[in-house]
Chain A
């Protein structure tokens, strides 16, 4: 769901009705609420949803039926055809407009360039693929239709995930309708998830994003020092934007007693790239591992094949984000990083292990990830090249540092605020890393005084430091576009 007043109000209304209505109609109510939310948000997405839900569900039923009759091969084929067709539609919607636009450069854009991926489509499509794959594997039973509708359309995670596994999600739906289920136990964690998530997004992500956008759009106007800071700002922006959204989605979902999977586990404190991908956009990396990497052979067919499979996965990951060369390069870079990490890990020279452990490992991983974000943010080879050119040739120009800062609209107070927010982020992520729990989970277990202080600081910070109001534009979620 989007992080807007409308969405918050909608969630609040749904929450109240959820608790007033009898338990037996909770699932139908949540189905209706989720579909209505999608309809209000984006009618094209709604149409796609109501057309694709029956197709996926009926395919799942067909798979079940075929397996029951011993036709496993036909069951696999049915699932494969449905999956392939859906992924083909996704690929067409993502890539056709891009290539048609390239060919039509300098002429009137053809209609095909107007195609777009409906809101949330790529996320719930991956969930549908997960559902069909697990049906073929026999690891889940046939869900009821409404459970399946809710699995795809559940409004707190609609738009940008997390990409849930069907068994974990649907199992919870049966619990919330059961007598004796006490979702009140989750309320504190829900509150902190929502507050913390919105804080990450509106105070940190949107703030750094404003300045990063200016630097990325006009790198020629800045010194290397500011371009480097711009890259770091984007690195923080994309993390706080997506992690904030995910934390809020988990929080909103917990209000109804449904626990979504954690999508981020302090990824910038990772000691190596392998660790990073166990902490960043966990639901996507898990999906890619389970439904692409392992079916390709995973790590069971030797080093060369392992590295090839890894490259394929990361290229697909890059292209899933977008059609531009920047995303492809980003994916290739992470594939190379992963291959290198594996080689170092398995290298007989143990002294090299410092590169993937401890402080050195963390610094190297952070630098590698930040570097790759350049291509992701620029999206195109031209944009990335231009930024890198100025990064390495403009020079630090320390004498003009304050003037460029002024040109960005950053005064001493704002600079201090930004530095303070980076320290705050570290102060939240380090204990979460040590305890291997999300920060909202840590807060929900803290003493009452600490909880109250956290709410006070988060609310005050949101009100005063938040990037909202007529002076600011944008505030979109970065991952909404994927």
Chain B
């Protein structure tokens, strides 16, 4: 009995420690919308409800309006992206997504391999890793993303945010009590509202090249994975102010896409068609603002709808989180507009 009593005391404290760790992790974790929230809320999505997954960099979660896609076309989509996400992370994101979802189509933003050529990118690595749950897949993701000497800077995730107890906000406390439904109505889209006038580039480059070996390796892995799992795949370049070196990389990716009969869509070529205004529709050289993202999304949505068999989920049972998403997002936009009008009035 004495031994049993001791074992129970020890077990009680082990459980207490685990609960404390889990609670502390939820309370202290970063909640940024540069990738962490996008990755975290994928686990709250109802299983097998995402028909179109947009993967890649901030060009996705800033430019692809998931509320518009659902409201206008009934497309159940998710912006499963993170800032400056390299293709090796996207590959593991894809596998993470397919643990609970089976999308019909994956749209892969290819800005990262064009913009960055280094084999290890640390600028926004935190935003790419922190939202993903621990699993063998995450371990492989970390090993592909970090040099061995730097792994301890990013794993376990608690290392990166354990000291946030000094700066907790109402948002952190609210997150502790957030229900699965509340989390599920988030679909990754986080628009910018600033206006930064840009000059439309005029680049005529036919040469191809500059795609790093590591990026190409993981691009092909993504293609292979989609084929093995019966997922349609296409490549996307969202509207932004590109340069010649990046166009050369896109030309190379287009060659790879053509070899495999995959669609390569450079939306910059359709700027006129979508009615994009370079003076008012950009936030900065790399991202559209809300107005621009709506124009781009409308164009993209119609194109995808015409090329792929994507069901209209409006009104269907099981897709209520998208209805809530549209309602909450529209309320959010109304609030933003009201604040902007007040600021302009004063």
Instruction: Mark A residues whose CB is within 8 Å of B.
Output: 5, 411, 413-414, 417, 448-449, 452-453, 455-456, 459-460, 463-471
Contact = CB atoms under 8 A, between A and B. Distances in A.
B167 A5 contact: no
Contacts of A463: 21, 24, 158, 162
Nearest to B158: A463
Contact of B162 (A413, A449, A464): A464
Interface of B: 6, 9-10, 12-13, 16-17, 20-21, 24, 28, 152-153, 158-160, 162-163, 165-167
B167 A411 contact: yes
Contact of B9 (A417, A452, A466, A470): A452
Question: Which 9 A/B pairs are nearest by Cβ-Cβ distance?
Answer: A452-B13, A470-B153, A469-B159, A413-B166, A414-B166, A456-B13, A456-B17, A464-B162, A448-B9
B27 to A, nearest CB: 10
Given A413-B166, A448-B6, A464 B28 contact: yes
A469 B162 contact: yes
Given A411-B167, A452-B9, A452-B10, A466 B16 contact: no
A59 B24 CA distance: 58
A453 B28 contact: no
Contacts of A471: 163
A413 B9 contact: no
A466 B160 CA distance: 12
B20 A470 contact: no
Contacts of A466: 162
Contacts of B165: 413, 417, 464-465
B107 to A, nearest CB: 33
A459 B162 CA distance: 13
Nearest to B153: A470
A471 B28 CA distance: 15
A5 to B, nearest CB: 6
Nearest to B165: A464
A469 B163 contact: yes
Contacts of B163: 464-465, 467, 469, 471
Nearest to B11: A452
Contacts of A465: 163, 165
Contacts of A449: 9
Contacts of B160: 469-470
Given A448-B6, A463-B24, A470-B160, A455 B13 contact: yes
A448 B8 CA distance: 11
Nearest to A469: B159
A464 B163 CA distance: 6
Contacts of B167: 411, 413
22 contacts: A5-B152, A417-B166, A448-B10, A449-B9, A452-B9, A452-B12, A456-B13, A456-B16, A456-B17, A459-B17, A460-B20, A460-B24, A463-B21, A464-B24, A464-B165, A465-B165, A468-B159, A468-B162, A469-B153, A469-B159, A469-B163, A470-B159
A453 to B, nearest CB: 7
A413 B166 CA distance: 6
Contacts of A414: 166
B10 to A, nearest CB: 6
Contacts of B159: 468-470
Which residue, of B12, B21, B160, B166, has the highest number of chain A Cβ atoms within 10 A? B166
Contacts of A448: 6, 9-10
A440 B12 CA distance: 22
A452 B11 CA distance: 10
A411 B13 contact: no
Contacts of B16: 456
Nearest to A459: B17
A350 B188 CA distance: 78
Contacts of A470: 153, 159-160
Contacts of B20: 456, 460
A453 B13 contact: yes
A150 B147 CA distance: 35
A463 B158 CA distance: 8
A453 B20 CA distance: 13
A464 to B, nearest CB: 5
Nearest to A6: B152
A417 to B, nearest CB: 8
Contacts of A455: 13
A413 B163 CA distance: 11
Given A413-B166, A413-B167, 14 more contacts: A5-B152, A411-B166, A413-B165, A452-B9, A452-B10, A460-B20, A460-B21, A460-B24, A464-B24, A465-B165, A467-B163, A469-B159, A469-B160, A470-B153
Contacts of B28: 464
A98 to B, nearest CB: 33
Nearest to A471: B163
Nearest to A415: B166
Contacts of B166: 411, 413-414, 417
Contacts of A5: 152
A449 B8 CA distance: 11
A325 B45 CA distance: 66
A470 to B, nearest CB: 5
